[in-house]
Structure 1
Amino acid sequence: MAAKNTLRITMLGKSGVGKSSLGNTILGSDVLTVRKFTKSQPSFCEARNGSINGRNVAVVDTPGFFCPESSEEELKQEILRSTTECAPGPHTFLLVFKIEKFTEQEEEIITKIEEYFSAEVFMFCVIVFTHGDQLSEDTRIETHISQNKRLSSLLEKCGGRCHVVDNKYWNQNQQDEYRNNQKQVEGLIQTIEEVVRQAGGGCYTTEMMQNWQRKQNQLRIRFLRSIIKYKKRFHESIGVILYKRMPDTDVN
């Protein structure tokens, strides 16, 4: 559990986008396990603490969406558990993507995040792209996003907050301030602190998640009840129709 004055960060994204490496880049050391997934290897949340320019930071790595070694329900429960890894909850969620084509699978991840945490979660989200070396020279991440309507829509949901890192090449780049992980991480921390200020010093709490899950369960129950009621009425109607079609028989 992170200390009260610690900046708490949870990373979300699909397998292979570089979440663990991003966490290590943020913390400045290789403390999170960078996994090469196999079907025999379970996937769990992992939390590590560090300090950035005197600011205590806790980073929670989560299993990747569409991770092959876990069922969808197992993944969901483990991802939801990430909020308790940094109780009372994360100050921000980093939505982690590679710089590549934004496909229907990425769209599905956004849908799942909203389904798991509610639409309110985007108030606490920052988009972070990895593999920044794939940006063409003199191109900034905002330009890359503007070329895709779905990405632009997501950025708007997240209050225009986005950053880019390169976990492999930008650590050595000291000449270009933009293509420099240290500068990007400093900017990311400033963005997260602004998210905290906008939330009145609050965070996305486990209570918010539980309330949302409770509402979702209530909606499912109502839906199932309506289906049962509909089926009952349908069968009753069929029974009436069949009865009316039965031939009259005279009993002499």
Structure 2
Amino acid sequence: MEAPAAFRIVLLGESRNGKSSLANTIFGEAIFFVKNFNDMNSFATKAQTKLVNGKNFTLIDTPGLFDSGRSLEAVKPELLRCIVECAPGPHVFLIVLKVEKYTEQEEDVIANIRRYFSDDALKYAAVVFTHGDQLPEGMEIKQYADQSDGLRELVEKCGGRCHVFDNRYWKNNQEDNYRTNKFQVAELLNTIDKMLMENRGGFYRSKTLNDIEREMQEEIKLLKLSAENMSEDEMRQQVKSVVLKKQLKKTFWKKVSVGAAGVGLGVGLLALLIISGLNSTSNVAEESAVEAAQTVLHQKAEQAIPNTFEAICDYLNALFERTYNPFCPFD
């Protein structure tokens, strides 16, 4: 019997905001690995599915994809991994922030999220605060958010959806029911139910997500020809790694072609400058000028091509090490 379809929930936010701990709190067990402060190998997207309160949820725990200072080039592999995991689109985004002063750094992270997914994504989003022990006594999280213009605007754009957790100190036997993760999980699940109803069970879409889903469906069709006993979900899990590798390869060769075009353009401009300068001497020297230009072009090309291919090899090796594990392609 096929398992019920899972609702895809993507956790977004800055590094060390507690996304993995929040995912474990929602699932009620330690499924996601909680990164250490100095863990240099933790920049990876993870996805897990579990039945919670009668619904199948796939939580997609992302690293700090939109941290200030991270270039798009540096995070592109994990962005692709996230997109493949949540295709054809996430039903819910959880924007994870800490209960602390809303700084320019956090504003940059939110701006990057909105820039990449567009403001339309906020119709499917809720703001979730962690480190709830920092919430002033007697104050609820919406009151806290109202104290900052930036936070108030963000929560309003997310339909007023706002929750708070504390993954370390809050206990379920406290007298203050509001300040328990059990209460907040129930409230968050209610919010998710309302969002699904408001969006009629729909999910966030984009051209990139549509393209990825189309490619996955093509791979599933091919897999069906040789894998008769696999379920749809099993086939989908298998083709994810195939599609991801193809997407990473496309990204790599696009970068290579841009780099090669840059080398060609530079050599071409150099040729124009040399010929122009030499032609200004005399017509008698025209043939010598062309020969000199060709010699210089040949020398420059000999220098540029090895450097280009050296850069290509370095990039390919780094990409290979970052994305491939023969035992689990998503580690």
TM-score (norm 2): 0.58
Does the 8 Å contact 1:66/1:72 carry over to 2? Answer: no
SS state at 2:184 partner: helix
What residue ranges of structure 2 are gaps of 5+ in the alignment? 212-331
Does the 8 Å contact 1:17/1:98 carry over to 2? Answer: yes
- In the TM superposition, residue 80 of structure 1 has moved relative to its aligned partner by 4.8
Q: Which residue is 1:44 aligned to? A: 44
Deviations 1:21-47 (A, max 9, x none): 000001111110111254742511101
Distance 1:192 1:83 in 2: 21
The 5 Å alignment of 1:149-164 reads 149-164=149-164
AA at the equivalent of 1:86: C
- In the TM superposition, residue 176 of structure 1 has moved relative to its aligned partner by 2.2
Deviations 1:137-162 (A, max 9, x none): 11100111111111111111111001
Distance 1:4 1:77 in 2: 30
- In the TM superposition, residue 76 of structure 1 has moved relative to its aligned partner by 4.4
Distance 1:208 1:175 in 2: 48
SS state at 1:183 partner: helix
Q: Which residue is 2:181 aligned to? A: 181
Q: Which residue is 2:111 aligned to? A: 111
SS state at 1:145 partner: helix
AA at the equivalent of 1:139: M
2:46 aligned with 1:66: no
SS state at 2:168 partner: coil
TM-score (norm 1): 0.75
Does the 8 Å contact 2:127/2:162 carry over to 1? Answer: yes
Identity %: 46
Q: Which residue is 1:197 aligned to? A: 197
Q: Which runs of 4+ in 1 moved over 6 A?
A: none
Deviations 1:176-211 (A, max 9, x none): 221111111111111112111111210113546568
RMSD of aligned Cα (Å)? 2.4
Higher relative contact order (CA 8 A, sep 6+): 1
Q: Which residue is 1:218 aligned to? A: none
AA at the equivalent of 2:67: F
Distance 1:82 1:208 in 2: 12
Q: Which residue is 2:295 aligned to? A: none
Distance 1:18 1:59 in 2: 14
What residue ranges of structure 1 are gaps of 5+ in the alignment? 212-252
Give aligned pairs, total. 209
Does the 8 Å contact 2:90/2:204 carry over to 1? Answer: yes
